Amino acid sequence: MSPKWVPLHRFAIGVHPDISKKLVTMMFYLPSGSDKQQQAQAGAYGTCLHTSAQYAGRSKINGAAQCAVKFPFAPNVGYSFTVNKHSFHSASAGEFGQRRTIMCALRFCCCLVLSLLYVA
């Protein structure tokens, strides 16, 4: 069975913590395209981590804020973090091809939720 990719046009999500039912969030990046395209994607599509102060000062229009740390969207890169009310993170929209990722979330009900996403 081949994976089904969920198309999300210009996906972006402002600074937020994950829901309290999650224990752990993990994401693996699967960039595609030429080396030049992957270099453009690395800066555009990475996930940002934010401090509590950045969360408090986020844009009231789109939820954007400066990054404390940004994971580059590059081959062999991924991240995970334990979820709590201060695990603030965001993803900005890019325009450099697909943003292919595998997201895994461990929830309190002891199930693993797997999502395959891409931005066309």
Contact between 72 and 42 (Cβ < 8 Å): yes
Residue 87: the pLDDT is 94
Looking at residues 48-72, what average pLDDT do you find? 92
pLDDT band for 52, please (50, 70, 90 cuts). very high
User: With 60 as the cut, is the pLDDT of residue 117 above it?
Assistant: no
Task: Give the domain extent around 96.
Answer: 6-118
- Nearest-CA neighbor of 66 among 86, 88, 96, 94? 88
User: Is 1 among the domain residues?
Assistant: no
Q: Whose CA is closest to 120, among 7, 40, 14?
A: 7
Our measurement of the distance from residue 43's CA atom to the centroid of its chain's CA atoms, rounded to an integer in Å, reads 13
Measured CA distances, 107 to 13, 23, 36, 69 (Å): 21, 5, 37, 25
Q: pLDDT, tens digit, for every residue of 5-41?
A: 555 556 678 899 998 888 888 888 888 778 888 887 7
Say whether pLDDT at 81 is over 60: yes
Report the length, in residues, of the chain.
120
The tally of domains found in the chain comes to 1
Domain membership of residue 60 (yes or no) is yes
